Amino acid sequence: MKVENLIIGAGPAGLAVAGRFRKRGIPFEMLEASDRVGFAWHNHYERLHLHTVKQWSHLPHQKFPESYPLYVSRQQLVDYMENYADTFDIRPHFHENVRQINKLERSWQVNTTSGNVYEAKNVIIATGINRIPNRPKWKGEENFQGTIIHSRDYKNAQTFTGKRVLVVGMGNTGAELALDLSENGTKTYLSARSAISIVPRDLNGRPVQVTGKQLAKLPWGLGDWIGTQIRKIYFGDLSKYGLQTHNIPPAKQLAETGKTPVIDIGTVAAIKAGKIKVVGDIETFHESGVHLKNGESLDVDAVVLATGYRAKIEAFLERGEEVLDEQGCPQSVIGEGFHQGIYFVGFDNYKLGGILGTIYDDSETVANQLSSD
């Protein structure tokens, strides 16, 4: 099939591009590996809510319903995306998993695992930064008598009630899963493998995301200094609980490394109350648990790996490694040189607005570019 513009992925990034294309009359087709739009969000853990405020998290041309709370739930976002697809008449070709994208003389050939072949002048890759689970391996895993799952497969705490569970990784997912487990009858351990940046989601009833954007406008690093003092007062000294915090301000760390600060929604309080015990990094596994790098041994029934994801576009895009930054994500929205005609939406995780804010901006960049062609 020959098409002008081919969007790959029917998650929020692909939907945002398609919504803008519909508004501007830009023709497109869309491929989706699964059987529904927003597939990943259908399968995330049940208690998940956005950590970004709703006024900065919606897709183009359609705000969230007034009835939605400030922090939109997983199910509400799923409902919203399905409604968005209906509103803008977005009809993906489902069960089309892209195997390879190769350059032709003046276009791109896209091959799918189902055997179909598409030829497109422009290909918009919207497969997301969370495409492939990052699954570390440790010596002795094969001897462990408990269960090991990636956070992608975690749904709720009911499966683990009454058990001892170690959550590995204290990013936003790990912190929230540990909180979920601790609130539901589970003896919970949290492996914080390195220093973290942590901020409260709200302060005095005001979203810190909103405050952070305002502080970022202040000159001479004053905003970072104010933010640091607020965090010190709010959280106190966390080292006594086993948590090491970065000296680098969260906004600066995000801008320089793309590493999102932990948005605290109650995990720190649970740690201080003794409901979650912070432990160090894993050295090896044994039959009934893990040996930690500090020499301690910990007996657990299950391990949940909140160890993140990888975009891995180089796995299917010809010479894809050439466009990647140190984090393994595309360096820009618009492909250049060999990759002219390739566009990347939703991979910049270096902004205070969160990934949905990035998607909103990136989709406009692509629509503007293709409107002027």
Other beta carbons within 10 Å of 149: 13
Q: Is residue 41 classed as helix, strand or coil in its secondary structure?
A: helix
d(CA 185, CA 188): 9
Between 300 and 205, the higher pLDDT residue = 300
- pLDDT tens profile 253-281: 666 666 678 889 999 999 999 999 999 99
Specify the higher pLDDT residue, 290 or 228: 290
Beta strands 202-203 and 206-207 are antiparallel
The distance from CA 76 to its chain's CA centroid, rounded to whole angstroms, is 17
pLDDT in tens, 299-334: 999 999 999 999 999 999 999 999 998 888 899 999
Determine the pLDDT at residue 352.
Answer: 57
Q: Whose structure tokens read 């590996």?
A: 33
- Cβ contacts of residue 172 below 8 Å, gap of 6+? 51, 260, 262, 263
Residue 38 CA, chain-centre distance (Å), reads: 13
Neighbour count for residue 108 (Cβ, 10 Å): 22
pLDDT of the residue at 236: 85
Residues 6 or more apart in contact with residue 102 via CB below 8 angstroms: 108, 109, 111, 318
Between 4-8, 293-297, 323-327, 358-362, the lowest mean confidence (pLDDT) is in 323-327
Contact 9, 366 (CB under 8 A): no
Look at 42-51, 106-115, 350-359 and tell me which has the smallest mean pLDDT: 350-359
Q: Please compute the mean of the pLDDT values over residues 225-236 and round it to a whole number.
A: 72
Domain boundaries along the sequence of the chain:
2-131+311-372, 134-305
Mean pLDDT across the chain, nearest whole number? 91
| pLDDT at site 266 | 94
CATH superfamily of 2-131+311-372: FAD/NAD(P)-binding domain (3.50.50.60)
Q: Which residue's entry shows tokens 């208690």?
A: 47
pLDDT confidence band for 68 (50 / 70 / 90): very high
Q: How confident is the model at residue 97 (pLDDT cuts 50, 70, 90)?
A: very high
User: What is the DSSP-derived secondary structure letter of residue 61?
Assistant: T
- Tell me which CATH code domain 134-305 carries: 3.50.50.60
Instruction: Name the H helices within 247-342.
Output: 250-257, 267-272
Report how far residue 179's alpha carbon sits from residue 175's, in angstroms, rounded to the nearest whole number: 6
pLDDT tops 80 at residue 210: no
Same fold, 2-131+311-372 and 134-305: yes
Q: Who contacts 322 (Cβ-Cβ below 8 Å, separation ≥6)?
A: 338, 339
Question: pLDDT for 116-170, tens place per residue?
Answer: 999 999 999 999 999 999 999 999 999 999 999 999 999 999 999 999 999 999 9
Q: Once rounded to an integer, what is the mean pLDDT over residues 37-57? A: 94
